[in-house]
Structure 1
Amino acid sequence: MAKSKKPVGKRPTTRKPAKKSFDRRGLLRQLLIIFLLSFFISTALIIYLFGMTDNFFSRLFWCILVIFLFIAIMVLGIIPVINYFGNKWLK
């Protein structure tokens, strides 16, 4: 009597998927977009509020810096963290 062999099939893999590599180009593109957005908002705000005064460029620099930091921290930091914990909690 011949023994019947079980069909050889694919075994389920127990490997974890590879981690995504850090996307430097995407981050630089996002930072550039955030900078341009903050530059145009700051310029419009400073010209509307104060006009072209003697200390226009120093006010513009600090306004760009503050708006850039607010937007960058929110878009690149707070929102992904909330999204991550929300996905973890819903699983």
Structure 2
Amino acid sequence: MKKPSKKPFLQPQTKRKLIILAIISLLLASALELYTFGIASDFFIRWIRSFFVILVLISTTVLAIVPAINYAVDKAAGK
């Protein structure tokens, strides 16, 4: 009796994109926080907050908005 094969939650290509976006977000958050505030007592909390905000904004743009616009334009152009 065969066990049903599990489908991965994320495709490898999507996982790779998310890892790259997380690294970019981490670098941007670090640069932003260090440039703006320097190292203060609440650096870590602000750094985590800005990381997640930047990650959500970039991921939404790259993984949802841009493909949706491309799909809509392709449909409108008849491709």
TM-score (norm 1): 0.74
Ranked by relative contact order (alpha carbons within 8 Å, sequence separation 6 or more), the top structure is: 2
- Pick aligned residue for 1:37 from 20, 24, 42: 24
Identity %: 34
Tell me how many residue pairs correspond in the alignment: 70
- Structure 1: which 5+ runs fail to align? 1-21
Alpha-carbon RMSD? 1.3
Where is the helix percentage greater, Structure 1 or Structure 2? Answer: 2
Aligned counterpart, 2:6: none
What is the alpha-carbon distance in structure 2 between the residues aligned to residue 44 and residue 34 of structure 1?
A: 15
What per-residue deviation string (whole Å, max 9, x for no partner) do you get for residues 49-85 of structure 1? 0000000000000000000000000000000000001
- Structure 2: which 5+ runs fail to align? 1-8
Task: Name the CA shift for 1:52/1:73 in 2 (closer, same or farther; >3 Å).
Answer: same
What is the alpha-carbon distance in structure 2 between the residues aligned to residue 38 and residue 23 of structure 1?
A: 20
TM-score (norm 2): 0.85
Post-superposition offset of 1:23 = 6.7
